[in-house]
Amino acid sequence: MSEDCGFTLAVDNVFAAVAGWPLSWYGATYSLGFAGLALWLLAWRRGGWSAREALGFAILAAALILLGGRAVEVTVYEWAFYRAHPQLIPAVWLGGMATHGLLLGGVAACLVQARRSRRRLLEVTDTLAPAAALFLGIGRLGNFLEGGVVGTETTVPWSVRLPSITGCRHPVALYDGLKNLLLVPVLALLLRRRPAGTGTATGAFLVLYGGLRFAIDQVRDYESVLWGQGPGQWLNLATAALGLVVLIGWRNARPAPPRIAPAAPIGLVRPVVLLVLVLLPLLIPTSWTQVHLRELREQRGVAPPAPG
């Protein structure tokens, strides 16, 4: 196959260092996503979310999204590695976050929020569907910059050469990121036409996210295999199937009644805690654990990345 790639990725994933800790563009996309989530809730007044409630949920979601992303990466994608190195499970600064785990963490946050705010679950998930698509779209940009999501070899003019990877590759992370960003206006329009509580935005998000990603991931070179397929493909199908269940099972659901956001002081604790959770992901360097990824690429005869 020709080695004349469309372009070469030469972006250093590390953009700064603080007290010896490198800060990554990959982690920065999480930071932007969490900040975007808070801003969406502060700006979206139709659901009656007060500023206090919006910041409280942003804190809850950020914490559970990080836990979910880490848990799925460890147990589904890299269990063989972490079974041999259990002491590294908490070491997020070595990398290792899974997109479907981020979704599960987000769902868990919605369940908690629905219970404590006495809202229907679909009211919460419908409201957050556009923000979720935005978060995942920005995250895929981080995947591209850190070179952790690898496409199959190709001769298309827009192919990319990734650091430490042989051949010209499909920029599959950009494909998926663009897909996610295009979902944002679609879901926002659905939310205006079918208000929160009907399940329309939630079901559409799950179907479009999972179904379109399944198609896009046909040109992804998964680093691991589960039952003959990349592990993410099974999760993509399950996500789309769940979306169909929501669209069909709740097709006659009624919108949530209008709410007026109560006036409540924000205080200082919530903004400070949210700021910490927004900055924390800057320490996460990659979607795969760096040590494990280096081992996998050495086994495949690919030179590991140069230090730094």
* DSSP letters for 131-174: HHHHHHHHHHHHHHHHT-S-BPB---TT-EEPTT--S-B--HHH
* Residue 74 DSSP symbol: I
Q: Pull the structure tokens for residue 63.
A: 């914490």
The residues, any chain, with a CB within 8 Å of residue 153's CB and separated by 6 or more, are: 1, 167, 168, 169, 221
In a domain, 13, yes or no: no
pLDDT surpasses 60 at 45: yes
**pLDDT for the residue 295:** 81
Q: How confident is the model at residue 225 (pLDDT cuts 50, 70, 90)?
A: low
In a domain, 57, yes or no: yes
pLDDT surpasses 70 at 223: no
In a domain, 191, yes or no: yes
Nearest C-alpha neighbor of 131 from the set 96, 103, 171, 97 = 103
Average pLDDT over every residue of 230-235: 82
Residues in a beta bridge with 14: 24
Phi, psi (deg, nearest 5) at residue 90: -80, -5
pLDDT surpasses 90 at 253: no
Q: How confident is the model at residue 156 (pLDDT cuts 50, 70, 90)?
A: very high
Separation of alpha carbons 43 and 149, rounded Å: 33
Average pLDDT over every residue of 198-222: 94
Range(s) of the domain holding residue 189? 22-255+267-299
Average pLDDT over every residue of 242-257: 90
**pLDDT for the residue 134:** 92
The overall average pLDDT reported for the chain is 88
pTM of the model: 0.79
In a domain, 132, yes or no: yes
From 46-50, 169-173, 230-234, 301-305, the region with the lowest mean pLDDT: 301-305
In a domain, 209, yes or no: yes
**pLDDT for the residue 257:** 78
Amino acid code (one letter) for 88: L
Distances from the Cα of 145 to the Cα of 138, 160, 185, angstroms:
11, 12, 25
Q: How confident is the model at residue 227 (pLDDT cuts 50, 70, 90)?
A: low
To the nearest whole percent, how much of the chain has pLDDT over 70?
A: 93
Q: How confident is the model at residue 1 (pLDDT cuts 50, 70, 90)?
A: very low
pLDDT surpasses 60 at 307: no
In a domain, 7, yes or no: no
Q: Pull the structure tokens for residue 168.
A: 């010209």
**pLDDT for the residue 306:** 35
**pLDDT for the residue 308:** 30
Average pLDDT over every residue of 148-164: 89
Q: How confident is the model at residue 261 (pLDDT cuts 50, 70, 90)?
A: low
Task: Give per-residue pLDDT as tens, 85-143.
Answer: 999 999 999 999 998 899 899 999 999 999 998 899 999 999 999 999 999 999 898 88
**pLDDT for the residue 226:** 64
In a domain, 9, yes or no: no
Separation of alpha carbons 178 and 190, rounded Å: 19
Neighbouring CB atoms inside 10 A of 177's CB total 23
* β pairing state of 14-18 and 160-161: unpaired
Q: Pull the structure tokens for residue 51.
A: 């500023």
Average pLDDT over every residue of 258-274: 83
**pLDDT for the residue 300:** 66
Number of domains in the chain: 1
**pLDDT for the residue 301:** 61
**pLDDT for the residue 186:** 97
Average pLDDT over every residue of 224-233: 72
In a domain, 80, yes or no: yes
